[in-house]
Each structure stands twice: as structure tokens, then as C-alpha cells.
Amino acid sequence: MKTHKDLDIWNLAIELVVKIYKESKNFPKEEMYGLSSQLRRASISVASNIAEGAARQSKEEFIRFVYYSLGSLSEIETQLIIANKIGYINNDDYAKDIEILRRKILNFIKYLKTNK
């Protein structure tokens, strides 16, 4: 691996950020500092923690930051379920994207742990 940009999980996380930004643009204005902001920050956090972890000095630190990404991904999932239930989004297309990314992150963690 040369940089975090070479990682599939980072690239998928960036794609998710773009989707979330486009979708949350349609949220009501009163959500600008509420659910929309939370969702956007959590999505940015997934990719950012992968990048930060890749720049760390040890695999243990890298693993810790990838776990942070996994936590942020669960935040996103929860927030999208809420947005769907209150009618801000009308689909659950994200469920598949989130599950694919979650599985890839977990596999990457397993890879890092076994190749110390």
C-alpha cells in the first residue's frame, strides 16, 4: 500500500460521503444543524479515520483508527434509518452500500491483525 488512497475501503467511504451530501441537501432547512450535519460529519469521519490510521506509525494504531471508522459507519446507518422513518429519504438504498463497506472494513481489520 502506498497511501490510504490506494485502499478500497477509503474509496468506498469517499463515494458514500458524496452520496450522503447529495441526499442530505434535500433535507428540510431546520435540519441544517441537526440530522443533516450529524450525518455529514459521520460520513466524513469514516474516510478521515482510515486516512489518519494509514499515516500512523504502527499497525495497532492503524487498526484502532479503522475501528473508529466502523463506529462512524454504524452512526451513519442509524441516522439514515431515522431519516427514512421521518420521511427525509424515501429509500433504503444505503443499506447495501453500508453493508458492503462494513464487510470490507472488517475484512481489512482481519487482514491487518493477521499480517502484523
pLDDT of residue 1: 62
Tens-digit pLDDT string for the chain (116 aa): 679 999 999 999 999 999 999 999 999 998 888 999 999 999 999 999 999 999 998 999 999 999 999 999 999 999 999 999 999 988 777 889 999 999 999 999 999 999 86
pLDDT of residue 115: 85
pLDDT of residue 74: 97
| CA pair distance 114, 51, nearest whole angstrom | 20
Residue 64 belongs to a domain with what CATH number?
1.20.1440.60
Number of domains in the chain: 1
Q: How far is CA 102 from CA 25, 35, 39, 53, in A?
A: 24, 22, 17, 17
Indicate if the alpha-carbon torsion angle 85, 91, 68, 16 is positive or negative: negative
Smallest CA-to-CA distance from 15 within 39, 44, 37 is with 44
pTM, rounded to two decimals: 0.92
Q: The domain containing residue 92 runs over which residues?
A: 4-114
